[in-house]
Amino acid sequence: MKKQSNSNSNPNSSIRPESKAGRRAVLARRLLTFRFMLIAFFMVVMAASGFVTGMIFVLGYLARFQPIHGLPITTLISTPVIISVLLSFVIITIWSGRFFRPLKRLTEATKKVGKGDFSVRIPEEKGNGEMSHLVRNFNLMVQELDSNELFRKDFINNFSHEFKTPIVSIRGFARQLKNEDLTEEQRAEYIDIIIAESDRLAGMSTNVLLLTKLENQTIVTDKAPFYLDEQIRSELLLMEDAWTRKNLCLSPELEEIEYNGSAELLSHVWRNLLSNAIKFSPDGGELKIDLFRAAGEIVVKITDEGPGMDEATAARIFDKFYQGDTSHKTEGNGLGLSIAARAVTLCGGVISVQSAPSQGTTFTVRLPG
């Protein structure tokens, strides 16, 4: 079967383990190392001062506590000690002023972050010292927090829109049904709209509950051997009405593969990916489904000839409630791919998307095997 070329596609967008905890752990280690460096510096300065003072006492002892060049022994001892202390103070002041400048900025930036300002950034100085690493990791951490805040606001907006729209529609058409001047055709049309919007709400609620369950699940307990090729064929048969209505040409090349895992989790994956591919495929288009082993992995590729996505859309396609079509004209609520991604992660696999405008889309699932 003809494979889709990678030369006309954007780089893949894939699901990988998050690094927020790692960033914070690195930041904590950098702070601890910085404290040790600071203590070591002051100990070195104090030791140097003590050494100079000790040498003065030794010289005084060797001089048998007699005046040298007309100077009293007390002046001989106290003057270098005072000079060494003042010199240490000057060195510490100059050094600490330069060293503590980024630390002061870090303290002020931390206060702003504590108040919810995630746009703050600390100017990074050149070098590979501990302070430079500390500032760099702080900026990366705040950048991730800023991204999370934007995602949270976007999630709330999309969630509100997806639930409010069908409710408003149901309320509006229900009120229209009270109009006694409606024809039977109009009344039947409004009832069908109310039923469709109710089904949409019910499906959305089911998907939200399912995604919440999967996000809180960490261990897969229902593992059992089954054939992946048979499972994918079964999902295609369940969607026969959808792809025959569009007169799609299916090109399944499924290698017989026995897999030990959760059949329930993977059924959510194939159902969402296949329904998504059918939805965006043009009438009379081709839908390719490949299943094979490669480099110790089980690989499933689902390719459609739809409108494709730009790089920005592909990067967020697995986010909850995210839809590339911001007008929300197409069916769906932006949860299917999030469910698929989470299910693949629970199975220990990786899901990625490769797409480009007018070039179609390929979803690739890699499972251990």
- Cα 145–chain centre separation: 10
Query: Beta partners for 286?
Result: 249
Q: How far apart are CA 10 and CA 359, in angstroms?
A: 10
**Which residue shows structure tokens 């060049």?**
69
Q: How many CA atoms lie less than 13 Å away from 157 in the CB half-sphere?
A: 10
Q: How far apart are CA 232 and CA 252, in angstroms?
A: 9
User: Rounded mean pLDDT of the chain?
Assistant: 77
Residue 137's closest CA among 22, 59, 301, 248? 22
pLDDT in tens, 41-51: 666 666 666 66
Query: If you count DSSP H runs as helices and E runs as strands, how many of each does the chain have, helices first?
Result: 9, 8
pLDDT in tens, 65-116: 454 455 555 555 555 566 666 666 666 666 666 666 777 777 888 888 777 7
- pLDDT at residue 22 is higher than 80: no
Cβ atoms of residues 112 and 106 within 8 Å: no
Query: Residue 127: how many CB atoms within 10 A of its CB?
Result: 9
Whole-angstrom CA distances from 99 to 103, 104, 105, 221 are 7, 9, 11, 53
Query: What dihedral do alpha carbons 288, 293, 297, 303 form, nearest 10°?
Result: -10
Q: How far apart are CA 82 and CA 89, in angstroms?
A: 10
Per the model's pLDDT, the better-predicted residue between 82 and 273 turns out to be 273
- pLDDT at residue 273 is higher than 90: yes
Q: What angle do CA 61, 64, 66 make, to 5 degrees?
A: 115
Whole-angstrom CA distances from 366 to 19, 74, 238, 253 are 21, 82, 23, 16
pTM: 0.56
Q: Token pair of 23, please?
A: 């960033």
At 214 the three-state DSSP class reads helix
